[in-house]
A = this chain, B = another copy of it.
Amino acid sequence: MNYRSALPLANVRLTRGFLAERTRLVRDVVIPYQWDALNDRVPGAEPSGCVHNFKVAAGEKEGKFYGLFWQDSDLAKWIEAASYRLATHPDAALDTELDRLIATIAKAQGADGYLNTFFQLVEPQNRWANLRDCHELYVAGHMIEAGVAHFRATGKRTLLVVVQKLADLIDRTFGLGPGQIPGYCGHEEIELALVKLARITGEIRYVRLAAYFVNQRGQQPNYLEEETKRRGDKLPWHMYFDGLATLQAARPVRELTEPVGHAVRQMYLLAAMADLAVELNDDSLLRSCHTLWDAIVRRHLYLTGGVGSEPYGEKFTEPFDLPPDRAYAETCAAIGVIFFARRMLDVKLRGEFADVMERALYNNVPSGISLDGTKFFYVNPLELIPAVAKRRYECHLVKTQRVGWFGCACCPPNVARLFASLGEYVASQRPDGLALHLYTEGDLRFTAAGTEVRLAVRTDYPWTEEVVLEVNPAEPAEFTLYLRIPGWCRAAALAVNGQPQSLAPVNGYAELTRAWQPGDTVTLTLPMPVERIHADPRVATVAGQVALQRGPIVYCFEEADHGANLAAVSLSRSAPITARHDTTLLGGCVVLESTAQRDPQSPSLYSTAAPAPAIVPFRAIPYGLWANRGEGEMRVWLRES
């Protein structure tokens, strides 16, 4: 199981709504589309070479390795996503396709368990020689996650045995014992994968290996420093500012007090630390998780749930340095935020963990994928002027429109595996019942007080305020439903079978303990006024500006609705804002409408005349749905006047 408390995917059926729509898109469009991409069959998209590389390594095909040295991981993530899909929507053709692919992978694996097509085909002599840059353990981690997911979905051990053999090789190779390499990967990932492997196999040594990787990181003598000296090379460009701290490897992980370096790596490390804190009851690791959580949420988180404000090296920078136009906010990093948050919910049921998870899930992550499921963003800025972004170096990684694939294609399959496994994020099985984190229409099955319970969720959240739960235990049973009261909600109301209940959430969750009867209904009302959000003024780039949020949805405004030069538009502090459900726009969503002021263009570049703004109509759309109406300007933060 990915998360200790997650319901099995087959027990969560998401039927309708914003998140379910993305899950459907992944199932029906993205997974087949990415399979084509991984097989280099998408015209116009950058080639992947993934399947090709494995066929060559398996001796099924002649040819050369194509791509970057972490290329295998794209395929691994896709297998993981496809397996999640099989878990919820059995599909014989996909099942067979996976069997065939897994047979190739198994054939490609070395006799000793080694599996990495770059090092097998291109640099066999350099195996494990450059842990700093070469992502070997990262790639192995993704393959392990794929093996675990495939086994859980299908019950087949075909890929699981491959990845166990690989994990066993790694276990033998790395560590502080005689003859072992006292190293760890420059890109974290193997750690959380090993925890998953341990959970599915029951083999505690995989947890110990993960703990070794986490604990050894940044210890003196510094392995990556020694390795660098041994090779006689220099730190690569992306370590310009932070050196080995780019890889969270300058100091032991328990000494970190601010997030540092490459954002995805930092988030994956934290996810693994949270896993290990739970598995090993490791208090010092847990304290570090809390410290870093607080640092990220208080000083480093974009309003959209993204992290990483420095494109040069895809990194965290200084506290409060969150420029909207230079946001990197990589799709993978926001997914990493979700991984960390979901694991922290296994540490402790605390509303803030789910709030942040929801923020990333409804905003930064859907920005990463087009409405039709075939195009992707890697970078998700909070402000874009296309002509400027195309011309300024610090924006040269920003795409002004989503693209079909990337040379470094980490994000698209990451989105796929996240949405395909969304059921694991919706709720947590609790010893005494169930905690519901995300409200989205569907049906859940879980066990409480020894009884199987079916829970029907009826809602049009996040567009509407009411969530109706129908509780159907197989037979009457006493248990607790923990219902998340979102942090953004200030006047939630609760009724059971039409009877209002007093609401005193504990740590952000309302606890409803009772002897549940089949057919009991719970009505949760989560009023969603339009909120005007202000950032701490230390976020210098948006001081004096306002962003709009309704429920979990962060809004943006686009050139498609306002013409160019969005910076000329400001919203008065007193302008009333109306939320309107537009069922046709962007697949159906709530738009925010108001009037705003637009400063006129000036006859001279600088003028002593105060601008005399005109009143113009204003419309904001959900940020997660931006850039689906052609190329144009976009802003989340807007001037308040």
Report Cα–Cα, A607/B641, bound state, in Å.
Answer: 18
| Residues in B neighbouring A312, C-beta threshold 8 A | 392-394
Quick check: A605 and B301 within 8 Å, CB to CB? yes
Determine the chain B residues whose CB is within 8 A of the CB of A392 once the complex forms: 310, 312, 317, 321, 326, 394
- Contact at A297–B388, with CB atoms within 8 Å? no
Does A537 reach chain B (CB closer than 8 Å)?
Answer: yes
Give the segment of A79-87, A177-185, A567-575 that binds chain B.
A567-575
Task: Name the interface residues of A333-392: CB closer than 8 Å to any CB of B.
Answer: 385, 387-388, 391-392
Contacts of A599 in B (CB 8 A): 537, 543-544
A639 to chain B, nearest CB (A): 4
Given contacts A298-B604, A301-B605, A539-B605, contact A388 B321 (CB under 8 A): yes
Identify whether the interface residues of A are mostly helix, strand, loop, or mixed. Answer: loop
Whole-angstrom CA separation of A610 from B573 in the bound complex: 9
B543, A639: Cβ atoms under 8 Å?
A: yes
Within the complex, which residue of B385, B534, B605 is in contact with A607, where a contact is CB–CB below 8 Å?
B534
User: Which of A299, A539, A567, A605 lies at the interface centre, i.e. has the most chain B CB atoms within 10 A of its CB?
Assistant: A605
Q: Which of B241, B535, B540, B573 contacts A606 (CB 8 A)?
A: B535
Q: Does A235 contact B (CB under 8 A)?
A: no
**Shortest beta-carbon distance from A344 to chain B in Å:** 17
A629 an interface residue at 8 Å Cβ cutoff? no
Chain A, residues 51-68, CB within 8 Å of chain B (1/0): the string is 000000000000000000
The yes or no answer to A565 lying at the interface (CB within 8 A) is: yes
Q: Tell me if A393 and B606 are in contact (CB < 8 A).
A: no
B321 near A534: Cβ-Cβ < 8 Å: no
The residue of chain B having its C-beta at the shortest distance from the C-beta of A383 within the complex is B540
Q: Give the residue of B531, B533, B536, B608 whose beta carbon is less than 8 angstroms from that of A533.
A: B608
B609 touches A534 (CB 8 A): yes
Interface positions of A from 569 to 614, Cβ below 8 Å from B: 570, 573, 599-602, 604-611
Shortest C-beta distance, A449 to chain B (Å), equals 38
Complex: chain B residue closest to A299, CB-CB:
B605
Report the minimum CB–CB distance from A6 to chain B (whole Å).
Answer: 28
- At the interface, yes or no: A538 with Cβ under 8 Å from chain B? yes
A303 at the interface (CB under 8 A from B): yes
Query: Is A318 interfacial (CB-CB < 8 Å)?
Result: yes
In the complex, how many angstroms separate the beta carbon of A261 from the nearest chain B beta carbon?
12
Distance, CA A566 to CA B609, complexed state (A): 24
Contacts of A570 in B (CB 8 A): 544
Minimum distance in angstroms from A393 CB to a CB of chain B: 4
The winner among A299, A565, A573 for most chain B CB atoms within 10 A is A565
Q: Quote the shortest CB–CB distance from A546 to chain B (angstroms).
A: 9
Given contacts A298-B605, A385-B540, A531-B608, contact A394 B565 (CB under 8 A): no
Cβ contacts under 8 Å, A537 to chain B: 565, 567-568, 599-602, 611
Complex contact B538–A568 (CB within 8 A): yes
Contact between chains at B535 and A317 (CB < 8 Å): no
Q: Answer yes or no: A532 CB below 8 A from chain B CBs.
A: yes
Give 28 CB contacts A-B under 8 Å. Answer: A301-B605, A310-B393, A312-B392, A313-B393, A317-B388, A321-B387, A321-B388, A321-B392, A392-B394, A394-B394, A534-B607, A534-B610, A534-B611, A535-B605, A535-B606, A535-B607, A536-B604, A536-B605, A537-B567, A537-B601, A538-B567, A538-B568, A538-B601, A539-B567, A540-B566, A540-B567, A543-B599, A543-B639
